[in-house]
A and B are shown apart, each in its own frame.
Chain A
Amino acid sequence: MKRRLSAAVDYALALLMLLAAWWYATGPMAMPTYLLPSPLRTWNALAGIAMTGELWMHLGFTLQNIIVGLILGCIAGTAIAYVMTRFPKLATWLDGPLVILQTAPKIALAPLFVVWFGFGIMAKIVLVFSLVFFPVFIGAVAGFRTLDPKMKDLAKLLGLSALQRFRRIELPAAMPEVFVGLKIGAVQALVGAVLAEWMAGKVGLGYLMTFASATYKTPLLFAAVLTTVALGLLLHVALTFLERRLLSWKGVANG
């Protein structure tokens, strides 16, 4: 407990020093606002869009795309990984196309997604999905493949149905590996969501950034960037919490 508190103090001190350096650069050093707005101006810009509700609309849109993409990517990644480990024949068929898709840089595909799926929400979710799918898929394949064969014997002895076996044995056993993929995927999801908004559309934190930089509203740009950073932190905290709840049996609770 004491150690945790002192760590928190250390974090706070480091952040304070960063803030002080920022203030120093804009105040005594007199950096122009269009290059580096002061902490106060940035705060005012942030408070401004928070008051009008604009911030919440953009934040909500981006967060919603991330969550929908994460959930769909997780379900699809786990499901396809399971089907492939259950039916090795299918795996040999799907292996080639999947490797091509996997190695293709998804960021480079982003413009194509806009062409195919339009300026709306669809293209964004497809991009996030494509970024989340592969880490989860790879993790899940590893999880399903490393299942103790004796567990299969156990399932057979107990006469479990395919569904019981999946839900009660295979899925929980693969969860730690799925989670490794999910945590990588979540970082990618944020990148993907913001990037998709840069390219098209009129809403989202990414859009807010392009709008602010195009109109030389640097304080607003800073506000948008900081909000994105905060969103990333929030995702990380949420996933860590979820991991501790779901995988406490692994002994990660003290991590």
Chain B
Amino acid sequence: MGQSERMIDITSVHKTFVADHGTVTALEPVSITIREGEFISIVGPSGCGKSTLLRLISGLDQASGGTITLDVAGAVRPVGFVFQEPVLLPWKTVLENVRFPLDTSGVRRAQGDKTALDLIKMVGLSGFEKALPRQLSGGMRQRAAIARALSDDPPILLMDEPFSAVDLLTRDNLNDELLRIWQSTGKTILLVTHSVEEAAYLADRVMVMTARPGRLKCVHDVDLARPRGEDTKLDPAYHALVAQLRRDLRTPAGEAH
């Protein structure tokens, strides 16, 4: 399978909620095609529907209209999901949490342990297999959550502001780890974030969304060399993109001023 193969096909997907005072549009029709192995960042203010879009892709919520096609060859669990909070089971150890998706789908214990231990190593939690979530720092918990999302090897990884609750230094580290994981696994990743810097640093393409009603304003290609690192943050092209993303978010289309 080549890089250009379609992984997610989104056509005119929209979402409305019924509220007390009529219907509220959470997401105006969005269309985009995401290729296999692509890293997409979705950036926008609160209420722009970026989390809604992620939930629709994951199947957690149903779209009001339009179609989402995942080219995942009938995988039972096509997407891994990383929430803003780690959502680990507090009574289970790191190993048991990471193994949880495997345990609940009938994978043999020995096989589950092997997969989980490999992933724990990959996210840098070796030595903490037997630790309980409450014994870990916020960043470590989120690492465990990423390992869990990857444990039954879904082709797509959806991340809803995964690093917004950790401090900035930890966030930088986790961003680099995420890039490393992405490069070694070849997953298709959609990451929702508030941070334009994070969006630009990580992604192949950045989707810019605006609020009230939530809509996709534009999509930017990110032409920054890979692998990315500290040098990327010195690249004028990176700063130009960050500035452009800021401008996009400042002046919502259709708003006169």
Query: Interface residues of A: mostly helix, strand, loop or mixed?
Result: helix
How far does the Cβ of B20 sit from chain A's closest Cβ, in whole Å? 19
Q: Which residue of A lies closest to B80 (CB)?
A: A157
- Taken together as a complex, chains A and B put the C-alpha atoms of A169 and B132 apart, in Å, by 16
Determine whether the beta carbon of A150 is less than 8 Å from that of B83: yes
Which residue of A157, A168, A250 is within 8 Å of B58 (Cβ)? A157
CB within 8 Å of A: which of B62-118? 76-77, 79, 81, 83, 85, 87, 89-92, 100-101, 104-105
Query: Which residues 134-183 in B have Cβ within 8 Å of A in the complex?
Result: 134
Point out the residue from A153, A158, A249 that lies within 8 Å of B104, measured CB to CB: A158
Closest to A156 in B: B60
On whether A160 and B104 interact (CB within 8 A), knowing A153-B60, A249-B132, the answer reads yes
Number of interface residues, chain B, beta carbon within 8 A:
20
Q: A residues within 8 A CB of B79?
A: 157
Interface string of A113-147 (1 = CB under 8 A from B): 00000000000000000000000000000000000
* Binary B-proximity of A148-173 (CB < 8 A = 1, otherwise 0): 10110110111110001000110011
Residue of chain B at shortest CB distance from A168? B104
Alpha-carbon gap, A188 to B22, bound state (A): 51
* A53 and B60 alpha carbons, distance in the complex (Å): 63
Q: A158-B101, A168-B104, A251-B134 are in contact. Are A153 and B83 (CB under 8 A)?
A: yes
Complex-state Cα separation, A160 to B76, whole angstroms: 12
A48–B81 Cα distance when bound, in Å, is 68
A150 and B85 contacting across the interface, CB-CB below 8 Å? yes
The smallest C-beta distance from B245 to any residue of chain A, in angstroms, reads 28
Determine whether the beta carbon of B101 is less than 8 Å from that of A148.
no
Could you say which of A150, A156, A160, A251 contacts B87, with CB atoms under 8 Å apart?
A150
| Whole-angstrom distance between the Cβ of A146 and the nearest chain B Cβ | 13
* Complexed CA–CA distance, A168 and B91 (Å): 10
Residues of B within 8 A of A154 (CB): 81, 87
**B134 nearest in chain A by CB position:** A251
Contact assessment for A159 and B77 in the assembled complex, using a CB-CB cutoff below 8 Å = yes
Closest CB in chain B relative to A179 CB, distance in Å: 13
- Compute how far the CA of A151 lies from the CA of B90 in the bound complex, rounded to whole angstroms: 11
Q: How far is the CA of A164 from the CA of B103 in the complex (A)?
A: 10
The interface bits of chain B over 32-45 (1 if a CB of A lies within 8 angstroms of the residue's CB, else 0) are 00000000000000
Q: Which residue of B lies closest to A155 (CB)?
A: B104
Contacts of B134 in A (CB 8 A): 249, 251
Chain A neighbourhood of B76, CB < 8 A:
159
List A contacts of B105 (CB < 8 A).
158-159
A234-255: CB near B (< 8 Å → 1, else 0) gives 0000000000000001110000
Q: Give the distance in Å from the alpha carbon of A151 to the alpha carbon of B87 in the complex.
A: 7
Chain B's nearest CB lies how many Å from the CB of A148?
Answer: 7
Task: Give A249's nearest chain B residue, CB to CB.
Answer: B91
> Which of B58, B77, B79, B91 lies at the interface centre, i.e. has the most chain A CB atoms within 10 A of its CB?
B91
- For A157, the chain B residues whose CB sits under 8 A away are 58-60, 77, 79, 81
User: What is the CA–CA distance of A160 and B59 in the complex, to the nearest angstrom?
Assistant: 14
Top 7 A-B pairs, shortest CB-CB distance: A249-B91, A150-B87, A172-B91, A157-B81, A249-B132, A158-B101, A150-B83
Q: Would you mind naming 29 contact pairs between A and B with Cβ atoms under 8 Å apart? A: A148-B87, A150-B83, A150-B85, A150-B87, A151-B87, A151-B89, A153-B60, A153-B83, A154-B87, A156-B60, A157-B59, A157-B77, A157-B79, A158-B77, A158-B100, A158-B101, A158-B104, A159-B77, A160-B104, A164-B104, A168-B100, A168-B104, A169-B89, A172-B89, A172-B91, A173-B89, A249-B90, A250-B90, A251-B134
Residues of B within 8 A of A (CB): 58-60, 76-77, 79, 81, 83, 85, 87, 89-92, 100-101, 104-105, 132, 134
